Structure 1
Amino acid sequence: MKYKQIKWLILILPTVTITLWEYIRHAFLLPYISMELGNILSPVLVFVVTLIFLRHLFSILERYQEELRWEKSEKSILIEREKLARELHDGIAQSLFLLSVKMNKFERKKSLEQEVDFQKIKQTLQHVHEDTRQAIKNLQYLPNEDVFSWTDTIYQYVSELKKNHLLDVKFEWGIDEETLSTKEKIELFACIKEAVVNVIKHAKTNQIWILSKETEDGWICKVKDQGIGFTNDNVHFNEGYGIRIIKDRARDMEWEFSMKRIDNETVIELKKENK
């Protein structure tokens, strides 16, 4: 029995009961039951019939409500788990990967260069610590719009890529910060970091382009490289967890996402069109 059917039965049952009773009473029982006794029996009969049938209907309705509460609870848990997975992957997993790369290089370095590499490893470990704390904080609190300086953050990130990871980053930024909401800044920055790490992991190149510009009805942001790529025919087979996270973020923000191979360049593009 469906939820709407139960509600209609709860509404209709008392009316149907009293209608049938009054018909039977006037058609067949007037010679045997006085008017006063019939008036007394009417609410009693309605109460008894309603109690018998509505107890069963209410039990079904309560079961539906309990199932609905359980589904909402499960959905909220899944949302939190996905959010936690994003935070951990964006911060800890990326830093640990870069740390493992540095450790492998460290083993092959000469002793004179060990001190420099050791300092870089310490910096990466510090980033892991900071990312962990930030991930926990992000799960507990909403970002403070007053203290979030997105422009400084992204320029600092590019500077760290050049300094700590020996990357040649071609950075051209043309999106005015005022055109982005706080949530857009956070999500776009996370997508850029994810795309850069994807290049470091898979492209086998030390050159990255981070480009953006405003359009008539929105903006476009691209991260591209000239490393080992893929063909457009098998692009879906090359989508790891990081790329899926970018796609999910873009979908949640109602941005357009694309990943293409154009003239020996892998291009990840995010595009917003104002509606």
Structure 2
Amino acid sequence: MTYKQLKWFILLIPTITVGLWEYVRHEYLLPYISMDVGNWLTPVIVLFVTFTLLTRFFTKLELMQEQLKVERAEKAVLEERERIAHDLHDGMAQSLFLLSIKVKQLEKLQIAEKDQPKLEALHKNIVDIHHYVRTGIENLRQPPHKDLPALDSFHTHIRKFENETDIHVTKSITMDEKHLTAEEKFELAACVGEALVNIRKHAQATKVIIHMEGTERERYLVVKDNGVGFDQEDAFEEDHYGLKMMAERCKRINWLFNVKRENNWTILKFSPK
């Protein structure tokens, strides 16, 4: 039933009730009840009908109004996120892209051999920052996270990685979504996406394993790859933007994020505090 139909029902039901009662009273009941009794019964019948029917309509009307408020608020948030994403794209993202091109052009100039690694590192940092800005723009343009199936997001990230790298991801995902909040599902799926991006860009891996357990007894997420890895002590230095972003996401949902290198595997583990 639409909002407009509900309003018409609320307006017409008392009128129709009084009309029907007066018709029945004058046509059939006048010999049996007096005029005074009939007049007293009229508001009682209207009150009874109002409580039995109209209160349900009022409840539904209030619910529709609340939903409308939520939709308006979400629309306002989406419009603001889109505005911020547009500003980032037209400002920072394009500036970083142009900066990376200019740095790339510097490589054609005669530069001291000792300074060449610094130039390459600068170019790599700019490219990485540009990537994370674009990732942030994409996240801003997505609707705010709701209580949606997290498995869809997990498998979307995995399929994208497999298509881009031709590496099959060995996955074992056991999840009862009622044991994870909407925010946990959103942030963990984003962490999986970020981990796979890091593997694709830096790890030179040939094998990737993802294990997710989200049940009443256990909750954790593990992402492993057999790539080249990195110095564990420098894992959260400034140029490891992906790891820092994952750590920030875990902090938001009060989870722990651990990184270690074991038996030639890089292991990222996410678990509740």
* Range class of TM-score, shorter chain: 0.3 to 0.5
Report the TM-score when normalising by structure 2: 0.46
Report the TM-score when normalising by structure 1: 0.46
